[in-house]
Amino acid sequence: MPKMETGYKKACGAYAVIFDAKKEKVGVVPSGSGYRLPGGEISRGESELACLMRTVGADLEIAGFLGKAAQETGARSMDEGLFYLGKWGQPRKGSHDLEWLNLHEAAEKMAGAHHQWAVQEGISNVQASTWF
């Protein structure tokens, strides 16, 4: 990653790629320019897993870490995401109003290349997994 100049704003969040029980759909959150993954910005002193439990829900099961990806969001700002693979035993209502999109539709409609990358990584991981 290039060295950041003074005054460069960086936001870091934790997000989950959540699949339904049949591995046919991904839970997404509507945003102004498409969809994003459930999760949110990590508060000062908070771990990424604590952030996921706070923003997504304590009943989220985490299968593993998918990776870290970032995207420039302006001339002097960067949005970095830490992405995890997860599932719920039962779809739930929580801090996010999830919509469930089929796998490829979810990948195409992400508002941000880093969220799109995470969905594609999640699809690759879940199709090879016996965890679901």
pLDDT for 84-93, tens place per residue?
998 875 555 5
Tokens linked to 118: 């995470």
Helix then strand then coil, in percent of the chain rounded to 5, is 20, 40, 35
Q: Are 50 and 83 in contact (CB under 8 A)?
A: no
| Cα 68 to chain centroid, rounded | 10
pLDDT for 13-47, tens place per residue?
999 999 888 888 999 999 888 899 999 999 999 99
Tokens linked to 53: 């439990």
Confidence at residue 84, expressed as pLDDT on a 0 to 100 scale: 95
Of all helices (H) and strands (E), which one includes residue 40?
strand 39-41
Tokens linked to 100: 């469930």
- Distance CA(13)–CA(96), nearest Å, equals 15
Share of the chain above pLDDT 70, in %: 83
